[in-house]
Chain A
């Protein structure tokens, strides 16, 4: 069992708690954790607040080291961590602030299919998705890319696969950053990363990755829901995956290459997993370029998964996916570092924003948003667990003011994998899900046990904290009805 956190946590208001920079020598800013009275008790059960304090040591960090209410123990950064650094003030980039699964993220597809029309075919739909989408350990993709094609894919991101027939034109606009980081440098990747990636584009993976068929159960914000094409009673599809082995290897290579770099630049760190380099240094630029290539791979991966999902729906419902209304509502990254402008002391400043298990949440009017979302704000997709619900939110002005345009990315784990397996002993999680109206299929024997609903916090509690803090507002509640997992 992890040791509980015993350091200071000062209440700021109903949704925020401060770790003062006096807590540890070397902290440059305060830590701030978003949580209510109930969630904060769970937060104290492990050392994740210490990780918030450790991140506050990073050179060039601006304002605060932040954690969203789905915070839990990670490596270097906690999961749910957000930190922005100013390159002009010696600000650093840290691979630990992005994570191994670079640009792990979520996308949501609409449909015009009513639940009552889908229900009789749900078992076949789940079976067909499971057959069509490669998932689980060691499953290669259907589409193989040669080295040259892989480099193009990592340069161009999801537009590359859309232009090769694996998507619709509208998919690109509905993807964060248009599915492409422009300064990506595939030439910075090791051969090993390329070898891990060549046959994995279009694969789901395992762990907490999934494809869920979800009922749009309740609309909180009709105007925003209408703009997104969310209709109560229809089904939608949520896809959660990332950059697969290629991204894991980019992170692993970077942490190894950067082992000695903090010493070179005179940076003292409290945790090896926080290795970093100044953003403007050759080493920092090298990681940013490689990370961008892996992020583009991840967007292409989710795009190919979208193509396969549309194929499965077309087969089961006997109609082209266009006629089933399977538009991409939005795609968000929740493990990434990006250069974004923010107001710092009244001056627009380009910052390096790390989001490690945190989602971008831009407010209405933000120039990066597609026209159809300009008046409502950016859609934010927050998966919960496979038994209860997930949420669609929109970004609010408070996100720009307080969290560098960021909010939560999920419910956050409550139980370790081992504890979840022990809690599942003598039970059939598949049967229990079926009793809740969810047809679930997983490749691994323990996959459903480890990812059972009780392993996660209640996502409603998490999103409510950010709703109250005006970081993001609820738009719709989605309830799972069919799930595939690796």
Chain B
């Protein structure tokens, strides 16, 4: 069974996130962790608040990008960090999930980079032995 994981990789002026998991829904948690790893050491406070997403589209790679774009907005606009993910649907044309969020603890966090956007450049979700692999590049 493939453990959900992420790794960051180099892109000339920006950064890439490669995510692996046994199923599409399981990609969500490590993708979010990868995004926060690009931003720095992001620590959430204890106070929790659920946020629900229901995204539609035409392919899973675009939906995963849209999901990370939602997380970026939550972070930048509301200073909220996802602490747990409960995906209910992630298919080729729909992504629905409820996430628990905590308020960013600025004192305990070390923010290194401002992520401008989650791009479509080299965006990919593909089947690999034992699960799925997603590639996303973020603009710094």
Contact surface of A with B, Cβ cutoff 8 Å:
1-2, 46, 72-76, 79, 100-101, 136-138, 192, 195-196, 205-208, 245, 248, 251-252, 255-256, 259, 271-273, 275, 413, 416-419, 444-447, 486
Tell me, in angstroms, the Cα distance from A417 to B118 when the chains sit together. Answer: 17
Partner of B39, one of A2, A137, A445: A137
Tell me, in angstroms, the Cα distance from A275 to B123 when the chains sit together. Answer: 14
- The answer to whether B13 touches A248 (Cβ under 8 A) is no
- Closest Cβ of chain A to B48, distance in Å, is 21
A137-B40, A137-B112 are contacts. A100–B73 as well, Cβ < 8 Å? Answer: no
Closest chain A residue to B41 by CB distance? A445
- Closest Cβ of chain B to A403, distance in Å, is 22
Partner of A248, one of B39, B79, B117: B117
- The answer to whether A75 touches B137 (Cβ under 8 A) is yes
- Closest Cβ of chain B to A385, distance in Å, is 13
Contact surface of B with A, Cβ cutoff 8 Å:
8-15, 39-40, 62, 66, 69, 73, 76-77, 79, 104, 106, 110-114, 116-121, 123, 137, 139-140
Partner of B13, one of A196, A413, A445: A413
Tell me, in angstroms, the Cα distance from A152 to B11 when the chains sit together. Answer: 38
A137-B111, A245-B76 are contacts. A72–B121 as well, Cβ < 8 Å? Answer: no
- Closest Cβ of chain A to B58, distance in Å, is 8
Partner of B69, one of A245, A252, A447: A252
Residues in B whose Cβ lies below 8 Å from that of A273: 119-121
- The answer to whether A444 touches B40 (Cβ under 8 A) is yes
- The answer to whether B77 touches A196 (Cβ under 8 A) is yes
A273-B119, A417-B10 are contacts. A75–B139 as well, Cβ < 8 Å? Answer: yes
Residues in A whose Cβ lies below 8 Å from that of B110: 445
Residues in A whose Cβ lies below 8 Å from that of B73: 192, 196
A100-B117, A138-B79, A195-B77 are contacts. A46–B12 as well, Cβ < 8 Å? Answer: yes
Question: What are 26 inter-chain pairs, A to B, with CB distance below 8 A?
Answer: A2-B12, A73-B12, A74-B12, A75-B120, A75-B139, A100-B116, A137-B40, A137-B113, A138-B79, A138-B111, A206-B112, A207-B113, A251-B117, A252-B69, A256-B66, A272-B123, A413-B12, A417-B13, A417-B14, A417-B140, A418-B15, A444-B111, A444-B112, A444-B113, A446-B113, A447-B112
Tell me, in angstroms, the Cα distance from A207 to B119 when the chains sit together. Answer: 16
A100-B116, A137-B40, A137-B111 are contacts. A79–B10 as well, Cβ < 8 Å? Answer: no
- The answer to whether B39 touches A72 (Cβ under 8 A) is no
- A contact face: mostly helix, strand, loop, or mixed: loop
Tell me, in angstroms, the Cα distance from A418 to B13 when the chains sit together. Answer: 9
Tell me, in angstroms, the Cα distance from A357 to B39 when the chains sit together. Answer: 23
Closest chain A residue to B10 by CB distance? A416
Tell me, in angstroms, the Cα distance from A417 to B9 when the chains sit together. Answer: 10
- B contact face: mostly helix, strand, loop, or mixed: mixed
Q: Which of A137, A255, A273 has the most CB of B within 10 A?
A: A137
Closest chain A residue to B42 by CB distance? A137
Partner of B11, one of A100, A196, A416: A416
- The answer to whether A486 touches B114 (Cβ under 8 A) is yes
- The answer to whether A418 touches B116 (Cβ under 8 A) is no
- Top 6 nearest A-B pairs (CB, nearest first) are A416-B10, A75-B121, A137-B111, A418-B10, A206-B114, A248-B116
Residues in B whose Cβ lies below 8 Å from that of A208: 13
Partner of B12, one of A72, A444, A447: A72
Tell me, in angstroms, the Cα distance from A419 to B9 when the chains sit together. Answer: 10
Residues in B whose Cβ lies below 8 Å from that of A72: 12-13
- The answer to whether B114 touches A137 (Cβ under 8 A) is yes
- The answer to whether B113 touches A206 (Cβ under 8 A) is yes
Tell me, in angstroms, the Cα distance from A86 to B71 when the chains sit together. Answer: 38
Tell me, in angstroms, the Cα distance from A363 to B135 when the chains sit together. Answer: 44
Tell me, in angstroms, the Cα distance from A263 to B118 when the chains sit together. Answer: 23
Closest chain B residue to A455 by CB distance? B13
Tell me, in angstroms, the Cα distance from A205 to B116 when the chains sit together. Answer: 10
- Closest Cβ of chain B to A78, distance in Å, is 10
Q: Which of A205, A206, A275, A417 has the most CB of B within 10 A?
A: A417
Tell me, in angstroms, the Cα distance from A74 to B62 when the chains sit together. Answer: 19
Tell me, in angstroms, the Cα distance from A287 to B26 when the chains sit together. Answer: 35
A100-B116, A137-B113, A272-B123 are contacts. A79–B13 as well, Cβ < 8 Å? Answer: yes
Closest chain A residue to B137 by CB distance? A75
Residues in A whose Cβ lies below 8 Å from that of B119: 75, 100, 273
Closest chain A residue to B62 by CB distance? A259
Tell me, in angstroms, the Cα distance from A271 to B124 when the chains sit together. Answer: 12
Residues in B whose Cβ lies below 8 Å from that of A138: 76, 79, 104, 106, 111, 114
Residues in A whose Cβ lies below 8 Å from that of B140: 206-207, 417
- Closest Cβ of chain B to A92, distance in Å, is 17
Residues in B whose Cβ lies below 8 Å from that of A419: 10
- Closest Cβ of chain B to A424, distance in Å, is 13
Residues in A whose Cβ lies below 8 Å from that of B118: 252
- The answer to whether A418 touches B9 (Cβ under 8 A) is yes
Tell me, in angstroms, the Cα distance from A74 to B119 when the chains sit together. Answer: 10
- Closest Cβ of chain B to A387, distance in Å, is 18
Tell me, in angstroms, the Cα distance from A195 to B72 when the chains sit together. Answer: 13
Q: Which of A195, A208, A444 has the most CB of B within 10 A?
A: A444
A72-B13, A196-B77 are contacts. A418–B112 as well, Cβ < 8 Å? Answer: no
Closest chain A residue to B119 by CB distance? A75
Q: Which of B79, B110, B112, B140 has the most CB of A within 10 A?
A: B112
- Closest Cβ of chain A to B105, distance in Å, is 12
